[in-house]
C-alpha cells in the first residue's frame, strides 16, 4: 500500500476534522432521551471520504465513447486517461483510506475521553456502520449518499447494542433498538445529506496532487 505525502496530508486533515466534530458533538446533549442516541456528525467525514472522487458513470460513458472512435483516437484517449489517472492518485480515496481515517478518529477520540468502554462501543459501532456504507456504496450514486448515511446510522446502533449486550450480559438492551432505529433514520438522512452536499460542492476543487 503506497501513500504519497500529499495524500497522507489530505487524510490527516480529514482525520483531524472528524476528531474535532466528534469532540464538539460530545458537548451537545442527546437529541432524544434514549440511551445510545446521538447525532453521529463525525460520520459526515467518513461518508465524504468514501465518495470523494469516486469513479462513477462518467468513466463508463467515456470508455463507451472511446470504443466507438478510431483505433488511433482510442489509443490517444487511453494514454490521456492513464495520465489523468496517475496524476489524480492523490485526489482519490479508497475504502481502505476511509477506514483508516475512521479508525484514527476513534482511537484519538477514545484517548481524549479516556474510556476503554467508550472505545469498544465506538469501534464496534463504527465498523458496523462502515461495513454497511461500503456494501451500499457500489449501488448508489453521488446523489444518493444520504442512503448510506441512513444505513450507517442504523448499523452503528446495531453494533453498539451488540457490544452493550456482550459487556453487560443483558440481552434486554436490544429492546432499545426499535427506538434507536427511528432516531438513526432521521439523523442518518441529515448527516448523509450534509456529506452529499459537501461532495457535490467540492467535486470541482482539486486536492493537492503528487508527482511521486
Length of the chain, please?
A: 212
Q: How far apart are CA 48 and CA 107, in angstroms?
A: 19
Residue 19 class from Cβ within 10 Å (0-12 exposed, 13-18 middle, 19+ buried)? buried
Q: How far apart are CA 210 and CA 171, in angstroms?
A: 51
At 76-110, the pLDDT tens digits run 445 545 445 544 555 678 899 999 999 999 999 88
At 120-144, the pLDDT tens digits run 999 999 999 999 999 999 899 888 9
Q: For position 3, what pLDDT does the model report?
A: 66
Q: By C-alpha distance, which of 51, 97, 38 is closest to 196?
A: 51
pLDDT grade for 187, boundaries at 50, 70 and 90: very high
> What mean pLDDT is predicted for residues 180-195?
93
Q: How far apart are CA 162 and CA 165, in angstroms?
A: 5
Q: For position 74, what pLDDT does the model report?
A: 55
At 14-64, the pLDDT tens digits run 999 999 999 888 888 877 778 778 888 999 999 999 998 755 434 443 344
Residue 65 reports pLDDT greater than 60: no
pLDDT grade for 204, boundaries at 50, 70 and 90: low
Q: By C-alpha distance, which of 98, 185, 190, 199 is closest to 143?
A: 199
Tell me the three-class secondary structure of 130-188, residue by residue: HHHHHHHHCCCCCCCHHHHHHHHHHHHHHHHHHHHHHHHCCHHHHHHHHHHHHHHHHHH
Domains of the chain, earliest start first? 5-53+88-202 (1.10.1760.20)
Residue 148 reports pLDDT greater than 90: yes
H helices of the chain, in order, are: 5-26, 43-51, 57-68, 71-87, 95-113, 116-137, 145-168, 177-202
Mean pLDDT, all residues of the chain: 80
Amino acid at each position: 500500500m503506497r501513500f504519497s505525502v500529499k495524500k497522507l496530508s489530505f487524510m490527516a486533515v480529514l482525520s483531524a476534522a472528524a476528531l474535532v466534530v466528534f469532540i464538539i458533538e460530545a458537548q451537545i446533549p442527546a437529541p432524544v432521551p434514549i440511551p445510545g442516541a446521538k447525532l453521529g456528525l463525525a460520520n459526515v467525514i467518513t461518508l465524504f471520504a468514501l465518495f470523494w472522487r469516486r469513479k462513477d458513470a462518467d468513466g463508463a460513458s467515456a470508455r463507451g465513447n472511446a470504443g466507438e472512435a478510431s483505433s488511433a483516437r482510442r489509443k490517444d484517449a487511453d494514454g490521456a486517461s492513464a495520465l489523468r489517472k496517475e496524476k489524480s492518485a492523490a485526489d482519490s480515496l479508497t475504502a481502505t483510506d476511509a477506514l483508516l481515517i475512521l479508525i484514527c478518529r476513534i482511537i484519538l477520540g477514545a484517548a481524549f475521553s479516556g474510556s476503554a468502554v467508550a472505545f469498544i462501543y465506538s469501534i464496534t459501532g463504527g465498523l458496523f456502520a462502515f461495513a454497511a456504507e461500503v456494501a451500499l456504496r457500489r449501488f448508489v450514486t453521488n446523489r444518493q449518499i444520504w442512503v448510506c448515511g441512513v444505513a450507517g446510522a442504523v448499523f452503528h446502533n446495531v453494533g453498539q447494542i451488540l457490544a452493550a449486550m456482550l459487556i453487560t450480559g443483558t440481552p434486554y438492551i436490544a429492546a432499545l433498538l426499535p427506538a434507536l432505529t427511528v432516531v438513526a433514520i432521521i439523523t442518518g438522512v441529515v448527516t448523509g445529506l450534509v456529506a452529499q452536499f459537501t461532495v457535490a460542492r467540492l467535486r470541482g476543487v482539486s486536492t493537492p496532487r503528487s508527482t511521486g
